[in-house]
Structure 1
Amino acid sequence: MTRRIVRTGVQLSLLAIIVFFFIFFLDNRYRVLPQSIHSHLPLHHEGLIITDLTVQTCSSLNPLSSCKLDQNKWHRIEKDLYLGTGWVSKAYVHIKRKREDELTDDDKIIIDVRTGKLDPAMGEKSQASEKWESRPAGIWLKRSHKRGTADGKKTVTAVDVLFGADAVEPRPGWELVKPQALRLDTTGDNKEPRLTVRRGRPHKVEKAVPRIGKDGRFKILQISDLHLSTGPGVCRDPEPQGANGGQCDADPRTLEFVERIITEERPDFVVLSGDQVNGETAPDVQSAMFKIAGLLAEHKLPYAAIFGNHDDEGALTRQVQMLLYESLPYSLSEAGSNTIAGVGNYYVEVLAHGANKHSAMTLYFLDTHSYSPDKKKFDGYDWIKPNQIAWFKAAAEGLKAKDSHKQYTHTHLDMAFIHIPLPEYVINQEQVQDIVGSRKEGVTAPRYNSGFKDALVEQGIMAVSCGHDHANDYCHAAKDEKSGNSELWMCYAGGSGFGGYGGYGGYHRRVRLFEVDTNQARISTWKRLEYGDVAKRLDEQIIVDSGKIVPPKSRARA
């Protein structure tokens, strides 16, 4: 029996070794392993230095051409520079890199990168050992025999590719290579590839700590349905139709609107409540999402993001996108537990003013997923799952217990943010008189009610706000069926981006703001428009006062 066990163990070990080397051989030749696995291989660990860079082009008409260089020497950045639009051509950036302790005196390291036409005067400034070297697609490299270190200001330690003339690089230590995009035979669709490089070691990103202001106030800007693209994007249903002579680039106009609101309202915190990326027009999701991340980083604004149903319709999953959000400056976004449904179930505590470390309010964020998993029974959109609700209840109870233990007596004005509206957002004709705002389309809530609204009320959440239905921007107070008392405000942000649908009945893009006054235990809210009466606070109202839900008093206004 013992011999049989030993023999079986040896056979299994040999089989495992054979399988490992077989997969390794296939991957080395044909790259069969997913990119997510490659990202964890030693070659991709930090602490590497770039020694060379090139572009490899291949054609489906030429069976001898290949888009893969020797993978023992080169690492391919998995972004087709044509973004899949080349009829017969593909092209990829390849880099060589080594660990710093493996560099020899004969190795060169890249200390500068340029693209486009090289200024002759630049060559005169170079040392004899640091001549500019030409590479395909208009790339110029300056390499040095100096060993350097990964801490050096010049040493290039990472390379990536972004797309579009409006590309933004929000990652600390990274910069877009200038002055031009890579030179390829592209169709001129404004999605031209651009190199971006990091110098030195990765920069540590310190997480911002949102805190109530010294006046007791905290202002939240909710931006929903940006629908950003790779490249400038095309406007959909722009209002008014003839603005700017009828010319409309979606993303520049959207971001100009958002930046104006940031400048005028000076919010303390931003909520990106889903559909930041317009999947079908964003073949490179990273380039699209970096636009809003870069704008918020530029203004040093902490923010939290959740996903909508369009964010992951492009090339990157929610998990990968959230990893990117988590790595960016000023982002407080989190993937949340991988044991519950969705990506992006988390909360952010806003601390009291001054040196206090206790929470003044909590903002909850939940993933409302995308489309129904059971279209026969519940056509339409997905719903918040029971284990998400259980997580939310446990988190809320835990935070209450923590505050109770510390004997804080302040009123918590907690809020929640989601993308797809809850079934309770649907209102009947009698309830129209109680809403404040515009209702220009039907509510596309899930057909199945999982009970999240009741959980919000049970945990004392004052307001929940969503996106998804671009042309709805109203707030509606849900009422207790027995007492008739208002128990939760449910608001829409309204659509902000020109890459998504809109324009119903002259409807202009907009954003929603909430201002929390902890001294008065009050929450106020209003909207701001992209066009029209742009200086006005539209539909301003107090929804919570003295820590209690304020019943609706105003009729809806178009």
Structure 2
Amino acid sequence: MYICFWNLILVCTVIGYFCTAVQAYITDIKLVTCDGHRACPNFPGYKKLETNLNAGTKRSQIYMHIKDDPSSDPITDLLILKTPDPPKATGWTRLETDLNHNTVFDNQTAIWLYFTKDKRLSVNPVTSIIIKEGDSPVVGAEYRRLPVDLNEGVGGMPLYMFYSQLGPKEYLFDKNPITALTAKACFTDVCYMDGWERVEKDANEGVIVGMRIYLFYQRKRNSPPVTDIVLVLDDQTAPEGYNKVEVDLNFVTFRGASIYLWYKTLSNPSEEEKSTAIQQVAIEYGQNAVAPLGWERLSVDLNSNHDGKGGFGEPTFLFIQRGYHELPPRQPLVFRKDGTFKIVQLADLHFTNEVGKCKDTPVEFDCKGDDSTIATIERLLDHEKPDLVVFGGDNIDGNGCYFVFVLFCFVLSFVCVCIYIQNLVLIPKTYISGAVTDARAATFKFAEPVIKRKIPWVAVFGNHDDENDLTREELFEVIRRMPFSLNERGPLELPGTGNFALQVFSNATLEAHALTIYFLDSHGLATKDTYDSIDQEQLNWLQETSANYAQSGKGTQKPNALAFFHTPIWEYHGAEDKSVPKLGDQRETISSPRKKKNLSVLDAFVKAGDIKATGWQALHAYGHDHVNDYCIEQKGIQLCYSGGLGIGGYGAAHLGWPRRARVWEINRFGEGIVTWKRLDDGALTLHHYQTLL
């Protein structure tokens, strides 16, 4: 829902070049073991992964800690071996702790984790490691699965490790293209093949009757690369020279269409043919699935009827990537020649990968779900022409309706057959209002209007974004690979994902750092009915970052700064004091975290700039509460709501209060700030123009 936006005057020194993308590679791994009855300590300077690697065994707790030291070489690959006698492997480092440490079983259950930094073995740096529970957990397409259950043979819950790899330009072309494809039909999602990488989405998602169908691929050195993939329906003739995957992708369904995948390999390819070979395949759910940069969508719906379109299950499309496509170079953020810098804040879009919902719209409005929100965003961007777009959280809708539907079917089982077996849900989610079955596809969708216009952008996370199939960490790995994204993970050891700062310079020569923009992860729910708050560690980092900036050209004064995050801080309740001036509306209760005795986010912001000594101010922008859009001043800091824009989230348009977006214009090269709102009323009416600084 909200975002927070503040303006701070900071003292800064420009260290390095803003536009250099910060590539946070994992450089070290530690395993910390402790007694099962005591809390495991954190390893200083490392991020602790919160899953106990011995979960369910009632024995030693084991936690993985990871580090991203920019002065160290990155880890480039991982390996897990199950053996009582772990071998020494050339180029690999073995962690000395058995992942099944101190279980009641003998050492036949021992599992060992290795990593390498040897570029002769692998050249793609590891950027993320996650642990997931279950026999077949859903995971992002950017991740690889290590095919060993970390609790195999010791009675604990199934646990699997996944990791994501990325690389700068010199690494990418060393990666082998795909050399073979196949498919497998299974009764459940526990569907894997030894020696093959799985495409992490069921090609038969959402069918009433049918098998789970998964695609698999291999990469083998010195083997002919795959240069093309086609989908053939029913009795259509396949192209000459293609290899058939002998599994019907509509196996055991009632629709009648048979769909087979055929692929072509090329012996002795030229260098040009190698550079356009198939490097990746992925599946997206949703009728209007967006093709990210460098990908192309095959036109046949894998859940289609005989015409290749429609069908009863989830609209499912196969995407292929030919070769590698470099992201556009990351450019520095700079003020325009007239001294202005404009930000458009888009809060609470509540996108889905489906058609989307229409909530609280006027009866006469021809609502088309997400497409209506996209149309508004496109008109707004074309009108304002911003220098930066900030997606303010709850960019993706939460997935609450699906399980209600399952319960409804159970209660009405005499008219509705609902089969819900472990990892086997045969209910067509595509027809359930608001169900998000593919957060990755929803991310491509909400960012596309900005990417098409080549506008730099940042997405902060709200409380709903990670309620679906992907975690914040997985969503970050999606976003960091998208064109014009300026997202950074930030210091790995900080709570949350996406605590970082951007600098805006006075001109293209980067002579003066004139504005700072902070982004903070405000987390999600702390308990069932209370929101989590920004942590002290995040505030310490912000204060340290502020102190380290030294501004050239402004003497000892810090440049103004803005901060964006989703959930409002407690001090927004100041609007309930009728004596406090505010411009804008408060139409709902402020849903902030509860006030903490020893933690004041606002006080930390004030302390960061030493407002009494330097006279800096702070400005915060929030989303979250969709029908609040006011600004108030607290302790010299402007606290501003944006108001919700997405038709998929609740609103008050049906009561005559249009959805809206906030625009920020920083002028006089960072010395002044004005703001206004644009209403989604057909005319993009300018509303509440306000000078804040």
Instruction: Report TM bin, short chain.
Output: 0.7 to 0.9
1:268-300 CA-partner distances (Å, limit 9, x unpaired): 101111111113021211011111222221110
Higher relative contact order (CA 8 A, sep 6+): 2
Indicate the residue corresponding to 1:102 in structure 2: 222
Alpha-carbon distance in 2 for matches of 1:94, 1:357: 52
Q: Does 1:452 align with 2:568?
A: no
The 5 Å alignment of 1:34-183 reads 36-37=161-162, 39=164, 47-59=175-187, 68=191, 70-72=193-195, 74-83=196-205, 85-87=206-208, 89-99=210-220, 101-103=221-223, 107=224, 109-115=225-231, 117=233, 129=241, 136-137=248-249, 138-148=259-269, 152-170=274-292, 172-177=293-298, 179-183=299-303
Matching of residue 203 in structure 1 with residue 315 in structure 2: no
With over 3 angstroms needed to count, the CA separation of the structure-2 counterparts of 1:467 and 1:11, relative to structure 1, is closer
Q: 1:436 aligns with which of 583, 600, 604?
A: 583
- How many angstroms apart in 2 are the aligned matches of 1:525 and 1:471? 18
Q: CA deviation at 1:363?
A: 0.4
Change (3 A) 1:309 1:133: closer
Root-mean-square deviation (CA, aligned residues, Å) is: 3.6
1:503 — aligned with what?
Answer: 652
Where 1:292 maps in the other structure, the secondary structure is: helix
2:198 and 2:217 in contact (8 A); partners too: no
Contact kept in structure 1, 2:179 and 2:265, CA below 8 Å = no
| Equivalent-residue separation in structure 1 for 2:327 and 2:466 (angstroms) | 27
> Which amino acid is 1:293 matched to?
A
Using the aligned pairs only, state the percent identity.
Answer: 29
Give SS of 2:480's match: helix
Q: Distance in 1 between matches of 2:334 and 2:358?
A: 37
Q: Give the distance between the partners of 1:22 and 1:337, measured in 2 at CA.
A: 28
Q: Say if 2:667 is the partner of 1:517.
A: yes
**AA partner of residue 594 (structure 2):** R
1:494-538 C-alpha deviation (Å, 9 max, x unpaired): 111111111263322211100111258221111112225x23211
Q: Name the TM-score, length of structure 2 as normaliser.
A: 0.65
**1:95-494 equivalent positions in 2, closer than 5 A:** 95-99=216-220, 101-103=221-223, 107=224, 109-115=225-231, 117=233, 129=241, 136-137=248-249, 138-148=259-269, 152-170=274-292, 172-177=293-298, 179-183=299-303, 191-201=314-324, 203-204=326-327, 206-238=329-361, 240-244=362-366, 248-280=367-399, 281-373=435-527, 380-399=530-549, 402-403=550-551, 412-427=559-574, 430-431=577-578, 434-449=581-596, 450-458=599-607, 459=609, 460-478=616-634, 480=635, 487-494=636-643
Q: In 2 relative to 1, CA 181–513 (structure 1 residues): closer, same or farther, beyond 3 Å?
A: same
Instruction: Give secondary structure in 2 for the equivalent of 1:71.
Output: coil
In structure 2, list runs of 5 or more residues that go unmatched: 1-82, 88-96, 99-106, 114-145, 167-171, 250-258, 400-434, 610-615
Residues 202 and 427 (structure 1 numbering): CA distance in 2 closer, same or farther, change over 3 Å?
same
Q: Please show how residues 518-557 of structure 1 align to structure 2 within 5 Å.
A: 518-519=668-669, 521-532=671-682, 534-544=683-693
Q: Give 1:298's aligned amino acid.
A: K
Once residues 67 and 259 of structure 1 are traced to their aligned partners in structure 2, the CA distance between those partners, rounded to angstroms, is 42
Q: Using the TM superposition, give the Cα deviation of residue 77 of structure 1 relative to its aligned residue in structure 2, in angstroms.
A: 1.5
Q: Is the 8 A contact 1:57 1:67 kept in 2?
A: no
Gap regions ≥5 residues in structure 1: 1-9, 61-65, 481-486, 545-558
How many residues align? The count is 496
Tell me the distance in 1 between the aligned counterparts of 2:384 and 2:647. Answer: 21
Q: Quote the Cα distance in structure 2 between the aligned partners of 1:521 and 1:26.
A: 57
Instruction: Please say if residues 505 and 512 of structure 2, whose CA atoms lie closer than 8 Å, have aligned partners that are also in contact.
Output: yes
User: 1:266–1:19: structure 2 CA closer, same or farther, 3 Å change rule?
Assistant: same
Measure, in 2, the Cα distance between the counterparts of 1:160 and 1:256.
Answer: 27
Cα distance change on mapping 1:331 and 1:393 into 2, 3 Å: same
The Cα of 1:383 is off from its aligned counterpart by 1.1
SS at match of 2:665: strand
CA contact (8 A) 2:490 2:498 kept: yes
TM-score computed with the length of structure 1 as normaliser: 0.79
**CA distance in 2 between partners of 1:200 and 1:414 (Å):** 41
* Alpha-carbon offset, residue 70 of structure 1: 3.2
* Aligned residue in 1 for 2:63: none
How far is 1:131 from its partner? 7.9
